[in-house]
Amino acid sequence: MDYSYIAGFFDGEGSAMILTIRRKLTRGVVYRFRPVIKIQQKTKPVLEEIMSQLGCGHIDKDGKGYTYIINGFKGIEDFCVKVKPFIFIKRDAVEAVEDLVAFQRSKKRKNEPYTLHDINIMIELRDKAFHANRITRSGLKQKYRWIEIVTETNFVSDLDEWKENRMRGLRRIHNAQK
């Protein structure tokens, strides 16, 4: 099995998407954008072979059969390097997911808040992937609209101040544990 075969299989049975996850925390609502690549099939053996060839991801059983899932930056980057050159139909969706991974890697450390500008970029990439997937999949619905996300999110106006306050809090916790 080579990467061109996997690309053809992905074009027929797969999708590249950006999931929007809404979390209600004590400090307000936070939205996260998670890149995911999936391939669905009624039987498991071909998905196991694809997973073995790519060296990443996992397989879940669902009501319709099996789904091979790649999430996490490294897995998606590997998929894009190996398979994207051969993808034809769903290239725009894969590129949007790849761009989100690159953007998120470049922007922040884990658990830092996103700015309004950051959120707008991620929503634009999410919507690009969504529209690209509609070419081959009917009935798709976008879960959270832009207006919902930007009105519910408590944005940090000064990221440097936020970081300093966080460091102060972490130092207090560290000192209290001594």
100, 105, 141, 142: which is closest to 121 by C-alpha?
Answer: 100
Total structural domains within the chain? 1
90 and 133 Cβ atoms separated by less than 8 Å: yes
Percent of the chain residues topping a pLDDT of 70: 94
Q: Percentage of the chain with pLDDT > 90?
A: 53
The one-character DSSP state at 111 is: T
Residue 20: CATH number of its domain: 3.10.28.10
Give the whole-angstrom CA distance, residue 66 versus residue 48: 10
Using the predicted structure, report yes or no on whether residue 7 has a pLDDT greater than 70: yes
Q: How many residues does the chain have?
A: 178
Average pLDDT over residues 129-152: 80
Separation CA 101–CA 70 (nearest Å) = 13
> What would the pLDDT profile of 55-92 be if each residue is shown by its tens digit?
999 999 988 899 999 999 999 999 999 999 999 999 99
Residue 117: give the domain boundaries: 3-177
Place of tokens 């798709």: 140
pTM: 0.83
Q: What is the mean pLDDT of the chain?
A: 87
Model confidence at 121: pLDDT above 90: yes
